[in-house]
Amino acid sequence: MAEETLSTIYRDYIACLNRQDWPNLSAFVDDDVHHNGRAIGLSGYREMLEKDFDAIPDLYFEIQLLIADLQGVASRLGFHCTPQGSFLGLPVNGRKVRFTENVFYTFKNGKIVQVWSIIDKLAIEAQL
């Protein structure tokens, strides 16, 4: 699996999320996907994303920085959006906030199988 291919797959995956194109999620995410060490599987992964869009109706994933090698992708994602209620335990309640997520993905047969994500909670706190 070439590095360029993983970058390309990853950009297509992010486009899939931004379209909320859930029927196509299985083209990018493995059945046995783990998220931050928890085995949530493809259905749990889809559920997590659907809940994210429910909680943040204007959610949009913007790739700010992407580093890829033969095994995986690391992406710095930028967000400028409006969480409706509490977010990461913070009372955001419909305020528009900017924040980033630094996230690592490892792949198996061209599909995401492990995700290690950290969202910048400190940045959101500073805006409240």
Query: Which residues lie near a copy of itself (CB under 8 A)?
Result: 3, 65, 67-69, 71-74, 76, 88-89, 100-104, 106, 116-122, 125
Q: Which is nearer to a copy of itself, 20 or 91 (CB)?
A: 91
Kindly state the smallest distance separating residue 124's Cβ from a copy of itself, in Å. 10
Cα separation, 33 vs 66, in Å, equals: 21
CB 83 within 8 A of CB 55: yes
CB 77 within 8 A of CB 69: no
CB 18 within 8 A of CB 56: no
Kindly state the smallest distance separating residue 42's Cβ from a copy of itself, in Å. 22
Kindly state the smallest distance separating residue 107's Cβ from a copy of itself, in Å. 11
